[in-house]
Amino acid sequence: MSTASGELRTTRQRWWGRQPIGTLFALPYLVFVLAIFAYPLGFAVYIAFHDYYFTAPGVDVPKPFVGFDNFAAVLTDPQVLEAFRNIGVFLVINVPLTVVLSLVLATALNAGIRWAAAYRIAFYVPYLTASVSLVGVWMLLFSSGGLVNAVLGPLAPDPSWLVSSTLAMPTIALFVTWKQLGFYILLYLAALQSVPRELHESAETDGANAWQRFRNVTVPGVRATTVLVLVLAIITGANLFTEPYLLTNGGGPDGASVTPVLLIYQRGIQQQNPDTAAAIGMLLVIVVGVLSLAANRINRER
């Protein structure tokens, strides 16, 4: 009798685990993730491959499978191509600036400096502050009659920063570099603590100067973090929405700062074409994935 119930107990334990109540504890989170992430993820793929449109509630119209039609439409749309090109311009400016500045500033901070906490706060606060607030401030600073142009005087660009088709995207790239830098500095600070001090010391005894030590000890020592910084900067850059929406007044001038996410919003929600919007979303994820893999690759090969 007791062995039988003992056996039953072990089978039950093997299936439900030793504390089956854990399933109940984790259940709200599981339901949340399935409903808010997993299901919409599948739904996004479904929408992208169907002729999907919004209907009045309760009306059920066929939404036929159309294969790659939405992708074909998106890939031949000059505005979509321009949005991806704009992201390219953004990344070419933002990514190198981010990596170089955050590593240099983190190295300077790490060298045992007075008021390190105050510097850290100054660098970090823009990262924590709402984009909408900071965009408002930058918009005023960089407007035609703004403070930046007043300081530059005759050197001020004409047309001004945010209304110039060549400068709009670079200005956004500068803004995002400024806003995000503090976070990357913290990542590098954490990584720098794990670079062994002896390496620096022995390089110094071998007569390496500060630049040589930075180049040959610090940079290789934080390589794994550099990959992380690259990938995160690429993801952030690919997901731009608030900046072109507000800073350049909806991707202006004339689409020069339009981004894929801004297009997803305009196509999917304003113009009610969720199918092409979902296709742009999938393309964006593929592009980000490929770029992240490439960043990882380049770093491994060196």
Partner 1 sequence: MRRQRGTWVRYLLLTLAAAVFAFPFYYMVVGAFQESPTNTPDQLLPTSGWTLDNFAAIDSRINLIGSLGNSLIFTAGVLLGTATFGLLAGYAMARLDFRGRGATWVLMLLVQMVPFQLLMIPLYVQITRGFGLGDTYLGMILPFAINTTAVFIFTQFFRALPQEMFEAARIDGASELRILRSIAVPLVKPALTTVVLVTFIGPWNEFLWPFLITKDATLQPLAVSLANYISNVAQSTANPNGAILAGATTLAFPVVILFCLFQRYFTASNIGSAVKG
Site for partner 1 in 35-54 (CB under 8 A): 36-41, 43-44, 47, 54
- When asked if residue 167 is in the footprint of partner 1 (CB under 8 A), the reply is no
How far apart are alpha carbons 105 and 103 in whole angstroms?
6
In the list 109, 176, 217, 291, the residue contacting partner 1 (rule: CB under 8 A) is: 109
Give the nearest distance from C-beta 81 to partner 1 in angstroms. Answer: 18
Any alpha helices (H) in the chain, and if so which ranges? 2-16, 21-33, 39-48, 69-75, 78-110, 116-128, 131-141, 147-152, 168-192, 197-205, 210-213, 219-221, 223-238, 242, 260-265, 274-301
- When asked if residue 224 is in the footprint of partner 1 (CB under 8 A), the reply is no
In the list 164, 165, 242, 296, the residue contacting partner 1 (rule: CB under 8 A) is: 242
- When asked if residue 132 is in the footprint of partner 1 (CB under 8 A), the reply is yes
Near partner 1 by CB under 8 A, which window of 77-85, 216-224, 280-288, 294-302? Answer: 280-288
Query: Environment class of residue 243 by beta-carbon count within 10 Å: exposed (0-12), middle (13-18) or buried (19+)?
Result: buried
Using CB under 8 A, which residues numbered 259 to 278 contact partner 1?
261, 264-265, 268-269, 274, 277-278
Measured from the CB atom, the residue of 71 and 127 that comes closer to partner 1 is 127
In sequence order, the β-bridge partners of residue 50 are: 65
Question: Among all chains, which residue has been given the structure tokens 């793929």?
Answer: 45
Measured from the CB atom, the residue of 82 and 179 that comes closer to partner 1 is 179
Contact 181, 105 (CB under 8 A): yes
- When asked if residue 113 is in the footprint of partner 1 (CB under 8 A), the reply is yes
Phi and psi at residue 219, in whole multiples of 5°? -60, -50
Burial readout 134-160 (b: 16 or more C-beta within 10 A, e: otherwise): bbeebbeebeeebebbeeeeeeebeeb
- When asked if residue 232 is in the footprint of partner 1 (CB under 8 A), the reply is yes
CB atoms within 10 A of CB 128: 10
How far apart are alpha carbons 103 and 95 in whole angstroms?
12
- When asked if residue 250 is in the footprint of partner 1 (CB under 8 A), the reply is yes
In the list 73, 92, 195, 235, the residue contacting partner 1 (rule: CB under 8 A) is: 235
Q: In 155-270, where do the E strands start and end?
A: none
- When asked if residue 146 is in the footprint of partner 1 (CB under 8 A), the reply is yes
- When asked if residue 64 is in the footprint of partner 1 (CB under 8 A), the reply is no
Give the three-state DSSP class for 65. strand
Measured from the CB atom, the residue of 23 and 79 that comes closer to partner 1 is 23
Give the three-state DSSP class for 97. helix
- When asked if residue 151 is in the footprint of partner 1 (CB under 8 A), the reply is yes
Give the nearest distance from C-beta 84 to partner 1 in angstroms. Answer: 14
Near partner 1 by CB under 8 A, which window of 3-11, 18-26, 61-69, 81-89? Answer: 18-26
Whose CA is closest to 283, among 256, 258, 260, 257? 260
In the list 246, 252, 253, 296, the residue contacting partner 1 (rule: CB under 8 A) is: 246
CB atoms within 10 A of CB 115: 9
Give the nearest distance from C-beta 40 to partner 1 in angstroms. Answer: 4
Size of the site for partner 1 (CB under 8 A): 96
Near partner 1 by CB under 8 A, which window of 1-9, 13-21, 59-67, 78-86? Answer: 13-21
